[in-house]
Amino acid sequence: MTRSVEIDSGSGFCGGVIRAIGKAEEFLGLSGVLYSLGAIVHNEAELARLGGKGLQTVGKDDLDSLPAGSTLLIRAHGEPPETYALARELGLKVIDCTCPVVLRLQRSIREAWERVRDEGGQVILFGKPGHAEVLGLLGQTGGNALVVENMEMLEEYIGRGLISPGVPLEVFSQTTKSPDGYRAICARLTEFSSSEVTVHETICSQVASRHRQLAEFAAAHDVIIFVSGSSSSNGKVLFELCRSVNPRSYHIGDPSGINPSWVPEGCSVGVCGATSTPKWLLEEVAERLRSI
């Protein structure tokens, strides 16, 4: 009896990544060379494909050595205000592909900081320290927001007195974080604070709905093969969600990572991935599973 293989219809690039890659490919079709400030997507296979078209990934330290008049792509994660100022200073052209959801979040955090700073209030951001999106969000407050990655970090900050119970708090989340994790952080802050706590719903709706849909998909199959790049934060979160629902969940980067012993004949296999995983890669994985 052969195994059945199904690709999760909700997996694949989110809207912001689709938009950024589309703009990059459009430009590359006309110019042949484009510089991306940081990886346009956290997926090694897709980066290799785009690199073949002329997309080059650079860091901020590389900007002053780019050829005069070069075009710089700001990826969907966004950037802090000083990045745009530096690009202008260096005479670089900019294609801004910041996701509209992230742009709205940047504006909301900037406005929140303007509201609370004169009252001694704080902006709390549930996110991964050092993540590209988080750095762009921090830049909206001049680096004055407090980033909290998990409950352990929050308790540590409370214990050290880094969060004050008597001042207004404005709480936000990185767009790709776990909705359950964010609810827990917000509940603890509300319990802790004796002042006003304003909670902003800033997790991308596409990401939030993915958690419920993916849990259902993982539960509906005997085995889950989850595909994402090694540096994808969203991939790590979603894979752990799959594994919590279905212990027979395995994380790979491409078809070469498949172990045939994971998928015995007669089993039902679900193939899924992160918001940074291209559909073509999911299809390659599914084809490999069908052939073994």
Average pLDDT of the residues in 230-239? 88
Q: At what angle do helices 151-159 and 179-192 cross, to 10 degrees?
A: 20
Sheet (strand 4-7) strand order:
4-7, 268-273, 223-227, 249-252
Residue-range definition of the domain harbouring residue 247: 4-12+205-291
Beta carbons of 47 and 53 less than 8 angstroms apart? no
Clarify whether residues 218 and 193 are in a common domain. no
Average pLDDT of the residues in 38-53? 95
In which band, very low, low, confident or very high, does the pLDDT at 94 lie, cut at 50, 70 and 90? Answer: very high
Among 72, 99, 126, identify where a domain stops.
99
How many residues are there in the chain?
Answer: 292
Structure confidence at residue 207 (pLDDT) = 80
Structure confidence at residue 209 (pLDDT) = 85
Structure confidence at residue 225 (pLDDT) = 98
Average pLDDT of the residues in 120-127? 96
Catalytic residues: 133
Clarify whether residues 189 and 106 are in a common domain. yes
Clarify whether residues 194 and 106 are in a common domain. yes
Pick the more confident residue, 178 or 268. 268
Clarify whether residues 119 and 195 are in a common domain. yes
Among 99, 131, 163, identify where a domain stops.
99
Burial class (CB in 10 A: 0-12, 13-18, 19+), 256: exposed
Structure confidence at residue 233 (pLDDT) = 82
Structure confidence at residue 210 (pLDDT) = 86
Give the CATH number of the domain where residue 59 resides. Answer: 3.40.50.11270
pLDDT beyond 60 at 3: yes
Give per-residue pLDDT as tens, 140-190: 999 999 999 999 999 999 999 999 999 999 999 999 888 899 999 999 999
Average pLDDT of the residues in 197-225? 93
Clarify whether residues 40 and 108 are in a common domain. no
Clarify whether residues 25 and 71 are in a common domain. yes
Clarify whether residues 163 and 123 are in a common domain. yes
Quickly tell me which residue has 């802050």 as its tokens.
Answer: 189
Beta carbons of 160 and 115 less than 8 angstroms apart? no
Based on the structure, what is the number of domains in the chain? 3
Structure confidence at residue 97 (pLDDT) = 98
Average pLDDT of the residues in 188-212? 92
Structure confidence at residue 2 (pLDDT) = 60
Structure confidence at residue 194 (pLDDT) = 93
Beta carbons of 164 and 122 less than 8 angstroms apart? yes
Clarify whether residues 118 and 191 are in a common domain. yes
Clarify whether residues 195 and 113 are in a common domain. yes
Pick the more confident residue, 62 or 31. 62
Among 99, 115, 136, identify where a domain stops.
99
Quickly tell me which residue has 């969203």 as its tokens.
Answer: 234
Q: How far is 87 from 116, CA to CA, in rounded Å?
A: 30
Clarify whether residues 76 and 144 are in a common domain. no
Structure confidence at residue 29 (pLDDT) = 94
Mean pLDDT value across the chain: 95
Give the CATH number of the domain where residue 275 resides. Answer: 3.40.1010.20
pLDDT beyond 60 at 23: yes
Structure confidence at residue 157 (pLDDT) = 97
Structure confidence at residue 106 (pLDDT) = 98
Q: Could you list the beta-strand ranges (E) of the chain.
A: 4-7, 34-37, 55-58, 71-74, 93-96, 122-126, 146-148, 169-173, 197-199, 223-227, 249-252, 268-273
Clarify whether residues 151 and 187 are in a common domain. yes
Clarify whether residues 158 and 83 are in a common domain. no
Structure confidence at residue 116 (pLDDT) = 95
